[in-house]
Amino acid sequence: MHKATEFRLEAHPIIPEALERLDELANDLFYSWDHGVRSLLARIDLRLWLKVEHNPKLFLRRVAQDRLDEASEDRAFLAEYRRVLSSYDAYLEAGPGPEVTEKLDPEKTLVAYFCAEFGFHESFPIYSGGLGILAGDHCKAASDLALPFVAVGLLYQQGYFIQSIDALGQQIARYQSHSSDELPITPVEKDGEVLKVSVPFPGRDVVARVWEARVGHIRLYLLDSHTEENSAEDQELTLQLYGGDESTRISQEMLLGIGGTRVLEALDLKPTVWHINEGHAAFQILERCRHTMASGLNFEAALEAVAGATLFTTHTPVAAGHDIFPRDLVYHALGRYLEESGLDFETVFALGAKAGGDTFNMTSLGLRGSRFHNGVSRIHGGVASQMEGDIWPQVPAEENPLGYITNGVHVPTFLAPEWSSLFDIQAPTWKSEMRNQQFWEFIDQIPDYHYWSVHKALKQQMGEYIVRRLSRQHKRNGTGHSVTDRMTRQLISSEKDTLVIGFARRFATYKRATLIFSDLDRLERILTDPDRPVVLVFAGKAHPRDKPGQRLIKVIHDLSMHPSLMGHLILLEDYDQAMARRLLSGVDVWLNTPEYPKEASGTSGEKAALNGALNLSVLDGWWGEGYDGKNGWAIPPRDTELDAEFRNEEEARDLLDLLEFEVVPLYYERVSQGFSRGWVKRSKASMKTITPRFNSQRMVMDYVTNYYQPASSQGALLMADGGKVATGLADWKAKVREAWPGVELHVVGCVEARCPHNDTVELRVEALLNGLSADDVRVECLVSPECTGTHESPGPDSFFLEKESEADGRTVFASRVQPPYPGLQTLRLRMYPHHEALTHPLEMGAMLWV
């Protein structure tokens, strides 16, 4: 039989005048955190709202005219519509608070934030995981604080893949194209035409058109190569996030870094601080150098000026997270751009070279092209300082300029509305106390039964959601109803109120999703105790090229089908932000078992904690700071020097011990009301200690204080007087680099080995400065009490030595020092280059010790 061709026709409604601002709401990512907007739409047609997967623009295109007409005449609906709008208007009217304006003058400063992915909401799929969600949360908090802020990224027509898991447990990756009119974006126009920028590529220019996404107070600009000026191949450059090969990757990164900078220029925006969020966007440094050189500076001076206004954030110690390109590829891809820009290839290549290698590392470029740099938790900051230590070769890693700011999450996005309503009653001003730890003690005032009833309601919603998702998944795979029923029976048993543990994130091998299955017999015993059953819920995508990651999915799938674990292990497909909100607000325990120290921060555990779930995790990333002994459970990581298999076994045993002897018994320690008071106490301890410390408002304010404000001043200082300071600094650095290998430092005479505690000892060192002057260096003495033995940073225990005399090319530095500690102490003397325009005293990476 001949199958007729089908034509799809979408008849869209005309929005009634009474509801005309619905369009505006659908075009502002405000909806991604404001529950009011989303429930307003859901109220018009709940089935359609679910069908379009919470996509406001698609919803407004497909909703039936009579539904809209009815709503426009429904008084209750109109009242809600007005309430939502007035809260939207009030949000937009509120300006920045004094804590912001005293640091960043909105008239004179602007932060530009570049990232390869942004995760705002499931309806806008241009993210893959943690990095994107974090960037989305950063923008949302920047909007909440009304910072002078603009973000830049790429628009991927297909975004990241949609995941199915088939009946054999294999991951199937499917890409879906999204037309721009179903995304919360509008074309950017300039002088009545669609704004386009072009970037020189080998043998041609690649053109990108520009889209704008509104995020409350701020704007995100997205570049899109799908435009008629480009060849078919170039149109696909921005097709997929993390798709294609390394040539696609470097092309995307040229569009993001170089093209993105050109977008801001075309829009006449003049950022005073540039935040490069992960290496993908680091090519912006080159474009800004080119731009700065146009005002008469040489490359070195331009680089100083550019770097001084730049913050680079590195997000992972895992190798796959750092782009490393072969020399040939960089030469080919950037050649024409560099030539047209008057930039020398070797000079540029050296910025990305890792010591000794012949490859180009985007992280190294980011670090050399910025004077402010950070990791994303205390542990990660330390690890990154070690990893990237070659940028500052003579400086001890503990002291190099790479700092940290621990990631936080956007509370309005991830806190379930049920909790936020409860807080509204219990502590109405909570939204303006997001960083006040003391304020959050109010959590203890919530009656236990009330607290538990909110959690239980959310858990039930999660249960229903899981049943829906799993039924869909099973139906497609031809898996019988009875399997679905058996698999979810424990989960939805209201009589047992079963303990539910969640694990959902990207399936990357270092996250060790299967660690908990290390001792299956024991796990089975713990999970299937009829009086104290436990259900594990897993979800996550593995990158389509990550075969070991996909094997983990299969292992978990197979176990979930095994009769002995049936009902105690569930694997859901297609993890996204919508599923994350459900799971994170519904589970009792959130599990994370990364291989230390590879979880740079992790954020999902923070989202779980806001919602009252307890973390059970390896002490890595944020949990290394969050865990206080009473607000969850911790698995101490074993020494990384030990054999990996041994570490896995040891940490897995800790995990099962905690489950068997602490988590399960505490959860099932039920009193008359049917819940465990001990559990509620711990859950409250978690919520009140973690919420005010690990939210994105605290994170962004830390960025403002520690980096945005200083970078803004430093950039201005270096560019003052047409870049005079930058030029002076660059020339000085060249002089120091030249002289440094010939510089020497010696002690003169001998240092007293003993002195009365209230007396002083004389210290003298003699420096051979090889053409530098005494003002070009700083000499200091570090003193540490003998017993600590650790490598301390210069703090109050450090003395600067004063210059004494200068003769025949030798300079003597001397000082009298009173021992700061009683008893035995260690003195060490060192010298490093000094210039008043340096951003960080040790940024040159040069240092000599006696």
Ligand X SMILES: *Cc1c(COP(=O)(O)O)cnc(C)c1O
Our CB check for ligand X shows the closer of 316 and 709 to be 316
Is residue 163 within the footprint of ligand X (CB under 6 A)? no
CA distance 660 to 657: 5
Applying the rule CB under 6 A, the residues between 436 and 495 that interact with ligand X are none
- From 89-97, 313-321, 364-372, 600-608, give the range in contact with ligand X by CB under 6 A: 600-608
- From 67-75, 435-443, 602-610, 763-771, give the range in contact with ligand X by CB under 6 A: 602-610
Is residue 121 within the footprint of ligand X (CB under 6 A)? no
Is residue 505 within the footprint of ligand X (CB under 6 A)? yes
Size of the site for ligand X (CB under 6 A): 12
Coil, strand or helix: which one is 504?
A: strand
Query: Out of 28, 144, 234, 576, which residue is the one contacting ligand X (CB under 6 A)?
Result: 576
Beta-strand relationship, 186-187 and 204-215: antiparallel
CA 349 to chain centre: 27
Is residue 717 within the footprint of ligand X (CB under 6 A)? no
DSSP state of 766: E
Longest CA–CA separation in the chain, Å: 106
Our CB check for ligand X shows the closer of 308 and 375 to be 375
Is residue 117 within the footprint of ligand X (CB under 6 A)? no
Our CB check for ligand X shows the closer of 504 and 838 to be 504
Query: Out of 44, 57, 58, 129, which residue is the one contacting ligand X (CB under 6 A)?
Result: 129
Dihedrals phi, psi of 821, to nearest 5 degrees: -115, 155
Count of alpha carbons within 13 angstroms of residue 150, beta-carbon side: 21
Smallest gap from Cβ 323 to ligand X, in A, equals 20
Order the strands of the 632-635 sheet from edge to edge.
569-572, 534-539, 499-504, 589-592, 614-618, 632-635
Our CB check for ligand X shows the closer of 118 and 575 to be 575
Smallest gap from Cβ 625 to ligand X, in A, equals 14
Classify the phi-psi angles of 621: left when phi > 0, otherwise alpha if psi is within -120 to 50, otherwise beta: left
- From 53-61, 303-311, 334-342, 570-578, give the range in contact with ligand X by CB under 6 A: 570-578
Applying the rule CB under 6 A, the residues between 788 and 847 that interact with ligand X are none
Smallest gap from Cβ 809 to ligand X, in A, equals 56
CA distance 374 to 378: 10
- From 25-33, 151-159, 482-490, 572-580, give the range in contact with ligand X by CB under 6 A: 572-580
Is residue 133 within the footprint of ligand X (CB under 6 A)? yes
Q: Where are the beta strands (DSSP E) in 53-141?
A: 111-114
Smallest gap from Cβ 184 to ligand X, in A, equals 18
Smallest gap from Cβ 500 to ligand X, in A, equals 17
Is residue 603 within the footprint of ligand X (CB under 6 A)? yes
Our CB check for ligand X shows the closer of 289 and 376 to be 376
What is the token pair recorded at 825?
């102490």
Our CB check for ligand X shows the closer of 130 and 692 to be 130
Coil, strand or helix: which one is 502?
A: strand
- From 290-298, 485-493, 573-581, 624-632, give the range in contact with ligand X by CB under 6 A: 573-581
Contact flags string 202-241 toward ligand X, x per CB under 6 A: ----------------------------------------
Our CB check for ligand X shows the closer of 312 and 503 to be 503
Applying the rule CB under 6 A, the residues between 25 and 84 that interact with ligand X are none
Query: CB under 8 Å, gap of 24 or more: what pairs does 548-554 form?
Result: 548/509, 549/506, 549/507, 549/508, 549/509, 550/170, 550/171, 550/507, 552/507, 552/509, 552/513, 552/514, 553/165, 553/169, 553/170, 553/171, 553/507, 554/168, 554/169, 554/170
For residue 437, count other CB atoms closer than 10 A to its CB: 13
Our CB check for ligand X shows the closer of 196 and 280 to be 280
Looking at residue 337, its amino acid is Y
Q: Which of 749, 806, 751 is nearest to 777 (CA)?
A: 806
Our CB check for ligand X shows the closer of 604 and 689 to be 604
Is residue 542 within the footprint of ligand X (CB under 6 A)? no
Query: Out of 251, 370, 577, 676, which residue is the one contacting ligand X (CB under 6 A)?
Result: 577
Beta-strand relationship, 802-807 and 798-800: unpaired
H or E segment to which residue 285 belongs:
helix 284-293
Smallest gap from Cβ 608 to ligand X, in A, equals 9
Q: Which of 307, 315, 208 is nearest to 251 (CA)?
A: 208
CA distance 327 to 369: 19
Our CB check for ligand X shows the closer of 262 and 505 to be 505
Is residue 130 within the footprint of ligand X (CB under 6 A)? yes
What is the token pair recorded at 397?
């890693």
- 8 A C-beta contact, residue 269 and residue 112: yes
Our CB check for ligand X shows the closer of 230 and 604 to be 604
- From 129-137, 278-286, 651-659, 755-763, give the range in contact with ligand X by CB under 6 A: 129-137
Our CB check for ligand X shows the closer of 210 and 600 to be 600
- From 125-133, 283-291, 745-753, 805-813, give the range in contact with ligand X by CB under 6 A: 125-133
Our CB check for ligand X shows the closer of 32 and 225 to be 32
Our CB check for ligand X shows the closer of 104 and 516 to be 516
CA distance 690 to 610: 7
Smallest gap from Cβ 612 to ligand X, in A, equals 17
For residue 17, count other CB atoms closer than 10 A to its CB: 7
- From 165-173, 297-305, 441-449, 601-609, give the range in contact with ligand X by CB under 6 A: 601-609
- 8 A C-beta contact, residue 153 and residue 143: no
Our CB check for ligand X shows the closer of 129 and 159 to be 129
Is residue 602 within the footprint of ligand X (CB under 6 A)? yes
CA distance 832 to 780: 9
Is residue 316 within the footprint of ligand X (CB under 6 A)? no
Smallest gap from Cβ 730 to ligand X, in A, equals 40
Smallest gap from Cβ 605 to ligand X, in A, equals 7
Bridge partners of residue 764, in order along the sequence = 814
Is residue 580 within the footprint of ligand X (CB under 6 A)? yes
Smallest gap from Cβ 601 to ligand X, in A, equals 7
Coil, strand or helix: which one is 112?
A: strand
Smallest gap from Cβ 694 to ligand X, in A, equals 11
Is residue 609 within the footprint of ligand X (CB under 6 A)? no
Helices 327-341 & 284-293, crossing angle to 10 degrees?
Answer: 20
Dihedrals phi, psi of 802, to nearest 5 degrees: -90, 145
Smallest gap from Cβ 604 to ligand X, in A, equals 3
- Residue 12 CB burial class (10 angstroms; 0-12, 13-18, ≥19): exposed
Task: List b or e across 672-687, with b for residues whose CB sees 16 or more CB atoms inside 10 angstroms.
Answer: eeebbeebbebbbbbb
Our CB check for ligand X shows the closer of 499 and 610 to be 610
Our CB check for ligand X shows the closer of 560 and 593 to be 593
Looking at residue 825, its amino acid is Q
Query: Out of 27, 163, 604, 615, which residue is the one contacting ligand X (CB under 6 A)?
Result: 604
Our CB check for ligand X shows the closer of 580 and 779 to be 580
Smallest gap from Cβ 622 to ligand X, in A, equals 8
CA distance 765 to 387: 33
| Contacting residues toward ligand X, per CB under 6 A | 129-130, 133, 505, 575-577, 580, 602-604, 607
